[in-house]
Amino acid sequence: MILLTGITGNIGGATARALLEKGVRFRALVRDRAKASAWADQGVELVQGDFEDPESIQRAFVGVDRALLVLPNGEVQERLELAFIRTAKDAGLPWIIKLSSPEAVRGTQSPIPLAHIAAEDAIMTSGMKWTFVRPSFYMQNFRGSVKAAKATGKLSMPMGNGTVAVTDNNDAGQFIAHVLTDADSARHQSQCYDITGPDPVMNFHDIAKVISEVIGQPVVYDNYDPKAFQEAIRPFHRNQWHSDAVATLFAEIANGRTPGHKTDTFQKIMGRPGRSLREYLNTLV
Ligand SMILES: NC(=O)c1ccc[n+]([C@@H]2O[C@H](COP(=O)([O-])OP(=O)(O)OC[C@H]3O[C@@H](n4cnc5c(N)ncnc54)[C@H](OP(=O)(O)O)[C@@H]3O)[C@@H](O)[C@H]2O)c1
């Protein structure tokens, strides 16, 4: 039995959709059954639980042989992921698949990738079989950029000359669903999969150009002052920790500390290219 976490969010939800398309039965741990009722309607077995409550995680693990670990960024992410990993180990979970990030590279000062590094380290020393799936910068991070670019003619982000490779959320979910269900599961164990779409590594001038072509009007990259950006994103995040952490992460991209890197992993494992940024943006216009 597969256990998913995070199905009311981006990647867990995309993984759940992909599993349902394959006709695979699975269980999902959710905090709020009502919020997940559409999944129950499609036959998903829901277990009410919370990472803050290890007993609920233990209950969810009964009869499970592989589990996907997803948590959003936040000041509790590292503590809760480490607790989940301990509970999984104690419950004898055979195989854990963790959603991580390619920015989780030693030497980072940014709390978001540092939390991923701590969880990856704990998993690798736990004795469980493991797989890390690390999608690059989500295309969905540009969800609001099309509307803003139409209004202002700008892509305003504090990315300097930094570069990213980009990945579509749905591709990430389909990739994880493939890993979870491949008959040859052993080939995916002890693998750290950094996945990207087919686009080349781009700086933010390149991305502004793609947005411009998609909306059919000029768009320039506006290198937003990092401090002003941090203030502007504050209302959209849960708390100061979160907006500070995102600003630190973006500063590491801007100063080239974590340059984008494209991989052919998605193409090799899935036998098809992922969605391009242009294809994704076209769905927004
Ligand atoms: N943004 C990027 O470009 C990027 C790139 C690569 C990797 N990542 C990584 O992706 C991860 C986030 O994935 P996402 O975008 O899919 O997250 P998301 O959309 O924010 O979804 C988070 C999920 O976790 C659930 N959750 C939160 N707290 C929980 C708790 N205490 N107990 C049980 N469930 C809980 C949420 O449930 P509720 O509905 O109950 O809140 C939701 O289903 C982060 O670790 C991030 O570092 C991001």
Tell me what pLDDT residue 115 has.
98
Distance set, CA 183 to CA 61, 93, 187, 241, 266 (Å)? 21, 19, 10, 42, 18
Strands 45-48 and 27-30: parallel
- 138 forms beta bridges with 167
pLDDT above 90: residue 256: yes
| Cα–Cα distance for residue pair 139/274, rounded to 1 Å | 11
- State the average pLDDT for the chain: 97
Q: List domains and CATH numbers for the chain.
A: 2-136+167-196+261-274 (3.40.50.720)
- Per-residue pLDDT tens for 51-64? 999 999 999 999 99
| Cα–Cα distance for residue pair 122/89, rounded to 1 Å | 10
The total of other beta-carbon atoms located within 10 Å of residue 125's CB is 10
- Per-residue pLDDT tens for 81-130? 999 999 999 999 999 999 999 999 999 999 999 999 999 999 999 999 99
Work out the average pLDDT over 183-212.
Answer: 98
| Cα–Cα distance for residue pair 180/281, rounded to 1 Å | 29
| Cα–Cα distance for residue pair 102/240, rounded to 1 Å | 24
pLDDT band at 167 (very low <50, low <70, confident <90, very high): very high
Answer whether 59's CB lies under 8 Å from 66's CB.
Answer: no
Tell me what pLDDT residue 274 has.
98
To the question of pTM greater than 0.95 for the whole model, the response is yes
pLDDT band at 233 (very low <50, low <70, confident <90, very high): confident
Residue among 70, 98, 103 to mutate when testing ligand 1 (max atoms within 8 A of CB): 70
pLDDT band at 237 (very low <50, low <70, confident <90, very high): confident
| Cα–Cα distance for residue pair 231/159, rounded to 1 Å | 15
pLDDT above 90: residue 149: yes
pLDDT above 90: residue 179: yes
Tell me what pLDDT residue 238 has.
82
pLDDT band at 236 (very low <50, low <70, confident <90, very high): confident
Distance of alpha carbon 15 from its chain centroid, rounded? Answer: 11
| Cα–Cα distance for residue pair 260/162, rounded to 1 Å | 8
Residue among 7, 11, 108 to mutate when testing ligand 1 (max atoms within 8 A of CB): 11
The minimum-distance atom of ligand 1 relative to the CA of 71 is: 24
70 lines ligand 1 (CB under 6 A): yes
Residue among 29, 31, 58, 87 to mutate when testing ligand 1 (max atoms within 8 A of CB): 31
Tell me what pLDDT residue 267 has.
98
Instruction: For residue 187, report the distance from its CA to the centre of ligand 1, in Å.
Output: 26
Q: How many helices (H) and strands (E) does the chain have?
A: 12, 13
Nearest 5°: phi and psi at 138? -65, 135
18 lines ligand 1 (CB under 6 A): no
The helix/strand/coil state of 256 is coil
Residue nearest to atom 8 of ligand 1 (CA): 101
SS (H, E, C) 89-130: HHCCCCEEEEECCCCCCCCCCCHHHHHHHHHHHHHHCCCCEE
Q: In the Cβ-directed half-sphere of 180, how many Cα atoms lie within 13 Å?
A: 33
